[in-house]
Structure 1
Amino acid sequence: MVFISLHLQSNAKVVVEVLDAYEGRAIDASAKFCREDVNPATGPIFVCGAMPGDVLAIRICAIHPAGIGYAGIGAGALSGRISERLIQQFEIGDAIHFSRGITLIPQPMIGVIGVAPCAGRLSTMDAGAHGGNMDCNLARAGATVYLPVFVEGGLLAIGDVHALMGDGEVGGQGIEVTAEVELEIGIIKNWSLKRPMIETDDVWATVAAGDDFESAVWMAVHDMVDFLTSQLNITDGEALLLISLTGDVRVCQIVTSTPTARVEFPERLLSNG
């Protein structure tokens, strides 16, 4: 049985309170975690009218980190090169003071955003066609995340907000924070979307997760070919050539069992198409 947190009408706005990835417990040096202990996601949100085959359009209106954030590196990281566990706390404001005079600028993003799969259960540590733990840096305020719907209502959940995270998340964490996230959620009919896409002012991106990073990249390339042929009325070959000339392959995260990649394509070329 699924316990619904919220029923929401299409095109409605909602503010979602999100816990940090470790619910504040990572600052305890003695704490130990298993997969079930991390990445809590708020939800599920039942979007009325969303049916299998539809697409949820989730516009991220704002992300408001709250309180103190933290990030760390586990002992044994980087093939054993890191010998001691490192944890730092950060006060989140207009700037983030790292150490030794290094100042960072917050760029809040959503690490986990996904819907329910067509059957069974998935960990919020995993990414896939449902979205999930994509850790995609494009999932910021102003962006729209598109997710295929597999079950009635979609059952959307979000979590794992970072005040700052580099592409790849190579140390295993961004700056983990609690947050309030303002969303506007709509439904798109008659769009056969296989995997997540993200739209920003500058790019459209296909996002894919695989058993390894290379397979994720090629899935995202295939998805972008599909998208461009439908949007620009060009052949598969022309689409692939256009991606090769103007697209960018980027890493989202490479630290879980389902590494995630994206292919970005300039929005201006679609507008001119």
Structure 2
Amino acid sequence: MNLPDIVSLTPGPEEYAYTFGGRAPLVTVQPGTVVELTTEDCFGGRVRGFGDLPSQVCDFPYLNPVTGPIAVAGAEPGDTLAVHFVEITPARDWGVSSTFPHFGALTGTHTTALLHPPLEERIWIYELDTAAGVCRFRARNSDFTAELPLDPMHGTVGVAPAAGETLMSITPGAHGGNLDTPEMRAGTTAYFGVNVPGGLLALGDGHARQGEGEVCGTAVETAMRTTVVIDLVKGGGPAWPRLENDRYLISTGSARPLEDAFRISQHDLVGWTRALLGLDELDAYQLVSQAGLAPAANVCDTNYTMAAKLPKSLLGRAHAYDGLHERLRATATAYLRHR
């Protein structure tokens, strides 16, 4: 097959975005383009040791920088922007995680008001061994250590919201944003509904790994070198971000309370399954109820995010977006073979 166009994007600190919407694109690409890009970690690279507390070294609210926006030629509201992750590789041999006084699933926040004292602000430094494929955890107050599998992914991926809205990059929603799902790894294709001309894709918040739920509020945060293939489907824009890998269809939903995020993701997956298999609504509902999975993505952000997964083995000859995921996988293989 013919090699795709390749564009490189390495923004400087002054070029990072902290919102979805409200910014002009850094670059415009044609559908089918491979984009090689770099991203900074959620702390802007400022947390490098145990003494670098985010409250002291970071400029609030300038957290969670994203690379972009990237405009896609021909993308119009109502279309579907497809983003296939070819490679996600840590750009450093270390990552950081932290607890925040008023952030995370197991502490009081501004919306969960509690009388007990806030959690301690504490930093953990992880050694990232890409050759061995591990993140090395070391407890701060004992000699305990553990090797966790390296599983690079992007916590924040999305497009500009509709109606001229501007949302902070830390917020997940129908536009994508800070979904924090570990499913957003290499080999995954993400689908976003286009809301503005060009779509205006941006991504960042690289995680060397993250547990489901991102319970403490941060993953193993690190800068990334990432390659994506960006494509466009005319029409068919999903109401909420969808993902596809070789084994699963995945719908997402972001809201508070958590059960509404769950309902959104399940509702979308039932509708997607119904359309692909030609089932009536209750048959699709029954199938998803018995065969689906429901991992938590995040329970710490400004909105919570749930994922709903259905095995593709149930689809028979049906293919989401006419087999676009498989075609983008072939493009990724050709790129990796000839680079």
- 1:1-273 superposed matches below 5 A: 2-26=23-47, 27=49, 28-29=52-53, 31=56, 36-67=61-92, 68-75=94-101, 78-79=106-107, 83-93=119-129, 94-99=133-138, 100-118=144-162, 119-271=164-316
Q: Distance in 2 between matches of 1:151 and 1:82?
A: 40
Q: Which residue of 1 aligns with 2:14?
A: none
Deviations 1:21-56 (Å, cap 9, x if unpaired)?
A: 001223413616575221111100001111111001
Deviations 1:127-179 (Å, cap 9, x if unpaired)?
A: 11100000011100000000000011100000101001001000010000001
Identity of paired residues, percent? 32
Q: Distance in 1 between matches of 2:180 and 2:119?
A: 26
- Higher radius of gyration, 1 or 2: 2
Please state whether the residue corresponding to 2:168 is helix, strand or coil: coil
Please state whether the residue corresponding to 1:3 is helix, strand or coil: coil
Do the aligned partners of residues 242 and 123 (structure 1) sit closer, same or farther apart at CA in structure 2, a change above 3 Å counting? same
Do the aligned partners of residues 184 and 243 (structure 1) sit closer, same or farther apart at CA in structure 2, a change above 3 Å counting? same
Do the aligned partners of residues 138 and 83 (structure 1) sit closer, same or farther apart at CA in structure 2, a change above 3 Å counting? closer
- The structure 1 segments of at least 4 consecutive aligned residues displaced by more than 4 Å after TM superposition are 32-35, 80-83
Letter of the 1:65 partner, please give it: P
Structure 2: give runs of 5+ residues left out of the alignment: 1-21, 108-115, 139-143, 319-339
Do the aligned partners of residues 256 and 101 (structure 1) sit closer, same or farther apart at CA in structure 2, a change above 3 Å counting? closer
The answer on whether the counterparts of 2:294 and 2:307 sit within 8 Å (CA) in structure 1 is yes
Do the aligned partners of residues 44 and 192 (structure 1) sit closer, same or farther apart at CA in structure 2, a change above 3 Å counting? closer
The answer on whether the counterparts of 1:35 and 1:125 sit within 8 Å (CA) in structure 2 is no
Report the alpha carbon displacement of residue 2 of structure 1 after superposing the two structures with TM: 3.1
Letter of the 2:214 partner, please give it: E
More strand by share: 1
The answer on whether the counterparts of 1:111 and 1:162 sit within 8 Å (CA) in structure 2 is yes
Q: Distance in 2 between matches of 1:152 and 1:209?
A: 24
The answer on whether the counterparts of 2:99 and 2:119 sit within 8 Å (CA) in structure 1 is no
Letter of the 1:85 partner, please give it: E
Please state whether the residue corresponding to 1:257 is helix, strand or coil: coil
Report the alpha carbon displacement of residue 220 of structure 1 after superposing the two structures with TM: 1.0
Deviations 1:80-101 (Å, cap 9, x if unpaired)?
A: 5875332111221132221223
Q: Distance in 2 between matches of 1:208 and 1:217?
A: 6
The answer on whether the counterparts of 2:29 and 2:71 sit within 8 Å (CA) in structure 1 is yes
Report the alpha carbon displacement of residue 213 of structure 1 after superposing the two structures with TM: 0.8
Q: Distance in 2 between matches of 1:95 and 1:222?
A: 36
Do the aligned partners of residues 35 and 195 (structure 1) sit closer, same or farther apart at CA in structure 2, a change above 3 Å counting? farther
Report the alpha carbon displacement of residue 193 of structure 1 after superposing the two structures with TM: 1.3
The TM-score normalised by the length of structure 2 is 0.77
The answer on whether the counterparts of 2:181 and 2:297 sit within 8 Å (CA) in structure 1 is yes
Letter of the 1:125 partner, please give it: I
| Aligned residues between the structures | 273
89-98 vs 76-85, which deviates more? Answer: 76-85
